[in-house]
Structure 1
Amino acid sequence: MTGNELAALRHAHELFGGAAEVASLDTSAARYEDLLARAVAMNNGGGRALYREAVARSRDDLRAAAAVDAEVDATAREAHRDHANAHALTKGVLDAARADSAVPDNAIAQREAIRRRVARLRAQHAHVVAARRKSRRHRSRWRATRYRMPHRGVHGLRLPAPNTRAGIAVRAALSRLGRPYVWGATGPDQFDCSGLTQWSYARAGIHLDRTTYQQIYDGVPVPRSQVRPGDLVFPTAGHVQLAIGNNLVVEAPEPGATVRISPLGAGVQIRRPLG
């Protein structure tokens, strides 16, 4: 071995250091399906059939999201295994070089030592190339992963700057699309209407009161003609939405539904949080 060889082999090995254990991703939708089933059982009103249809649609969305979660989890675990394998393979080559400490004392031994050095460098290079190829494949799979959400009609949507309070709140709310409505829930995986707006603004460091009946007095009133992303929108005194631009809102609408994007209504009250 030589100092240059060891440096090259060590550098290749260090490319695959520091891999932490992959956190387990809960890919089961059973918990939320149970919540939806209980919500149906509690609704004995005249709209029960429509309610059941809404719950069935939400259940399909949850199952589709769970399937995507499972795909992401499988890709992450495969990537971790490939990383660990590359770490072990490059370490084996490096250890072999360190163990090859004999000083050749004749021409034949010198040629053999050179042959071993070349073989180790080629092997290390092959391990790095193979690992990069696998990494590109994993990256392509992740980029192709999509959650199928029922409300995609937001082309041309211009969100506020991400360093503003309103921008942070809007992005936080949109990150919860597809999460189930549960009365009294305040996040991060299930919400009622005011729980969603309160949780979203909390990400931006702004406190909103807990209930819709309190939030309707938070901030300052704004006419509908001046609504902008981040404003609180009240179609009724008992429901709150968050404006996101393009005459759209994000909301946690009702039991049996999920967080979604909806049109901005006509007869609404609007409040702009301060902070």
Structure 2
Amino acid sequence: MTAPEVEILSRAHALFSGRQAVGVLDTAPAVASSPREGLPTAYHRAADRRRTELDGARRVDAEVSAILARVQRDHREAQRQTRAVLDAAHADAAATPDNPVAQRELLRRRAARLRAQHAHVLAARRRARRRLALLRALGYRRGQRRLPAPNSRAALAVRAALSRLGCPYVWGATGPDRFDCSGLVKWAYAQAGVPLHRTTYDQINDGIPVPRSQIRPGDLVFPHAGHVQMAIGNGLVVEAPYSGANVRISRLGSDIAIRRPA
């Protein structure tokens, strides 16, 4: 066993060392209080609205708690997998090949361990990105405040794009189950009856330019010339990001161009 191999395997395992302490959110349903005699109707209406908001918040908290529990399980599984690979390397430490065949076999095992550790780290990162996308989606649901009118074309396009969360990115695809970046926004706006050009390089000329301070849900966001996203409000966008990823919610960038379809 060579020192570089142990060092590499140990660094990978250290990414998942320690214990993840995640609190549990209170998701108990709100207790309905009996109406108080003599209070105005407006009070009861306001109380009902507040109770509905609290119930919605608790449902989101329950989903957040479930995601965090999965994060903990992911962490423990990655810790177990990378520990097993490192233990196998330590167990191989006493191997002293005394012929070319044994030496090749030892090298094969070392290469296999490095590949396995690399695969474990990549899988953990993919799971972490999926959990983050789910949390951002919940944050979007919880924080909706400046959405366009429910039946506006922008709102219909936003809802259409969000309905595709989790669909895979495929270059050149335009839906309905796989998309590239421009294919997603074109498909979403088509559901609202608004035609857009096919490619990012043409879509950047669709509609009218909008300053960042006036961005609204449904606006097309261009972090660079070769990529387009759709604003959904609360500093977030929905996008088909790149090959190997799925349609997801991401944060709005700072250096962007924005167009509002007419």
TM-score (norm 1): 0.49
Instruction: Say whether residues 1:113 and 2:102 are aligned partners.
Output: no
Task: Name 1:18's counterpart in structure 2.
Answer: 18
Instruction: Say whether residues 1:98 and 2:90 are aligned partners.
Output: yes
Task: Name 1:161's counterpart in structure 2.
Answer: none
Is 2:20–2:75's contact at 8 Å kept on the other side of the alignment? no
Q: Give the residue type in structure 2 aligned to 1:53.
A: R
Task: Name 1:55's counterpart in structure 2.
Answer: 47
Is 1:13–1:90's contact at 8 Å kept on the other side of the alignment? yes
Change (3 A) 1:104 1:153: closer
Q: CA deviation at 1:102?
A: 1.1
Is 2:9–2:86's contact at 8 Å kept on the other side of the alignment? yes
Task: Name 1:246's counterpart in structure 2.
Answer: none
TM-score (norm 2): 0.52
Task: Name 2:6's counterpart in structure 1.
Answer: 6
Instruction: Say whether residues 1:44 and 2:37 are aligned partners.
Output: yes
Gaps of 5+ in 1: 155-275
Task: Name 1:125's counterpart in structure 2.
Answer: 118
Distance 1:149 1:4 in 2: 48
Instruction: Say whether residues 1:77 and 2:69 are aligned partners.
Output: yes
Distance 1:44 1:76 in 2: 43
Task: Name 1:272's counterpart in structure 2.
Answer: none
Q: Give the residue type in structure 2 aligned to 1:123.
A: A
% identical aligned pairs: 48
**How many aligned residue pairs are there?**
145
Q: CA deviation at 1:46?
A: 5.6
Matches of residues 1-275 of structure 1 in structure 2 within 5 Å? 1-30=1-30, 33-34=31-32, 37-38=33-34, 40=35, 43-45=36-38, 47=40, 49-100=41-92, 101-146=94-139, 148=142, 152=145
Distance 1:149 1:118 in 2: 48
Distance 2:122 2:143 in 1: 37
Q: CA deviation at 1:120?
A: 0.5
Which secondary structure does the structure 2 equivalent of 1:69 belong to? helix
Distance 2:39 2:16 in 1: 61
Q: CA deviation at 1:153?
A: 5.9
Q: 1:6-31: CA deviations, max 9, x gaps?
A: 0110000001112333222111233x
Distance 2:24 2:39 in 1: 43
Change (3 A) 1:46 1:108: closer
Is 1:93–1:123's contact at 8 Å kept on the other side of the alignment? yes
Task: Name 1:266's counterpart in structure 2.
Answer: none
Q: Give the residue type in structure 2 aligned to 1:20.
A: Q
Q: Give the residue type in structure 2 aligned to 1:116.
A: R
Distance 1:105 1:119 in 2: 21
Is 2:85–2:113's contact at 8 Å kept on the other side of the alignment? yes
Q: Which entry has the higher C-alpha Rg, 1 or 2?
A: 1
Distance 1:126 1:19 in 2: 22
Which secondary structure does the structure 1 equivalent of 2:98 belong to? coil
Distance 1:97 1:64 in 2: 50
Gaps of 5+ in 2: 148-262
Distance 1:20 1:148 in 2: 25
Is 1:27–1:70's contact at 8 Å kept on the other side of the alignment? yes
Distance 1:54 1:4 in 2: 66
RMSD of aligned Cα (Å) = 2.0
Is 1:61–1:148's contact at 8 Å kept on the other side of the alignment? no
Which secondary structure does the structure 1 equivalent of 2:115 belong to? helix
Q: CA deviation at 1:51?
A: 2.6
Q: 1:234-254: CA deviations, max 9, x gaps?
A: xxxxxxxxxxxxxxxxxxxxx
